[in-house]
Amino acid sequence: MTQVSIIIINYNTFQLTSNCIQSIIEYTKGVKYEIILVDNASNETNPELFQEKFPSIKLIKNPENSGFAKGNNLGIEQANGEFILLLNSDTYLVEDAISKTYEYAKSIKDIGVFGCKMIFENGKIQHTARKFRSISWELLDAFRILLYLFPYRMRAQLMLGKYFRADYSTVCDWLNGAFFMFPKSILSKLPNKMLDDRFFMYGEDHLWCWQFKQLGHSAYFYHDTKIVHINNGSTSKTKQLNLRTLMLKHELEIMKYRKGEGLYYYLFKIIYSVKEKSRIFILGLNN
């Protein structure tokens, strides 16, 4: 029986994706797995080259670039595993993180979403375990000097994100989608029995964790294994500005979905928009 179906989306990242697949083959020893590669209409190289290089993978050639969520849903349709792992093409393994996270997930009574520690290539920790945004979170973040009056563990658990050193395993609200493991059985409870694909890219992980939480399933961060997530981002300031603006839009859409279009939403929108637009403005000045 296949224990983990690993789904990778490729869009014009042949070498990165190849490195990712090679690292899976090299390090994953403790589980039975399959790799499903969804090529989102890349024009960089012929996607058949992946099949030639890695004959054991399942290759799905999407005739259009339909985005991250829709691409993963195409992969999930072909998945036979007990668990699904959505894995970014710009990640690579340095140990058997997939098997370790799977075993951790099996040890938890609640079925839910599971993620592991992610680091940049220079070893710096990425902030992948997060809280859902709220008015109180935004205000505490804005006046963060108050947070440092609390002991680290209390501060970390209250805020997570950049306040958390990823130095212990914990329940969180949502996890970065670059390594996103969950039991396939959860999907049967979702509308259309698939992941919500309303966003082309960015914000899906946040949205999915909220939807899973509404079904009674938590998100779990596992700190005893790690992967490398390159996540360089664009060096173009214009693209960075556009990305921040898009993420602001998606965060507000998610909050409206969570809380409805009432007083809470509008107060949050004012606070969050002022913070983010100020950061976008400052980034623009440095362009």
Q: What is the per-residue pLDDT across 9-53, written as a single tens digit (0 to 9) for each?
A: 999 999 999 999 999 999 999 999 999 999 999 999 999 999 999
pLDDT at 234: 43
Q: Mean pLDDT across the stretch 127-148? A: 95
Q: For 286, phi and psi rounded to 5 degrees?
A: -85, 5
Q: For 32, phi and psi rounded to 5 degrees?
A: -85, 125
From the candidate CATH numbers 3.40.630.30, 3.40.50.970, 3.90.550.10, 3.20.20.140, the one assigned to the domain spanning 4-128+166-229:
3.90.550.10
Residue 250, amino acid: H
Query: Has this prediction a pTM greater than 0.85?
Result: yes
Q: How far apart are CA 49 and CA 60, in angstroms?
A: 13
Q: Mean pLDDT across the stretch 82-105? A: 98
Nearest to 7 by CA among 85, 89, 73: 85
Q: How far apart are CA 155 and CA 151, in angstroms?
A: 6
Confirm if 175 and 209 have CB atoms less than 8 A apart. Answer: yes
Q: Which residue has the higher pLDDT, 283 or 26?
A: 26
Is the pLDDT at 281 greater than 90? The verdict is no
Q: Mean pLDDT across the stretch 85-92? A: 97
- pLDDT range class, residue 280, cuts 50, 70, 90: confident
**Average pLDDT, rounded, for the chain:** 93
pLDDT at 110: 85
Domains of the chain by residue range: 4-128+166-229, 237-285
As a whole-number percent, the residues of the chain with pLDDT over 90 amount to 86
Is the pLDDT at 258 greater than 80? The verdict is yes
Question: What's the DSSP call for residue 199?
Answer: -
Confirm if 68 and 200 have CB atoms less than 8 A apart. Answer: yes
pLDDT digits (tens, 9 = 90+) for 196-234: 999 988 899 999 999 999 999 999 999 999 999 998 644
Nearest to 181 by CA among 133, 111, 77, 92: 111
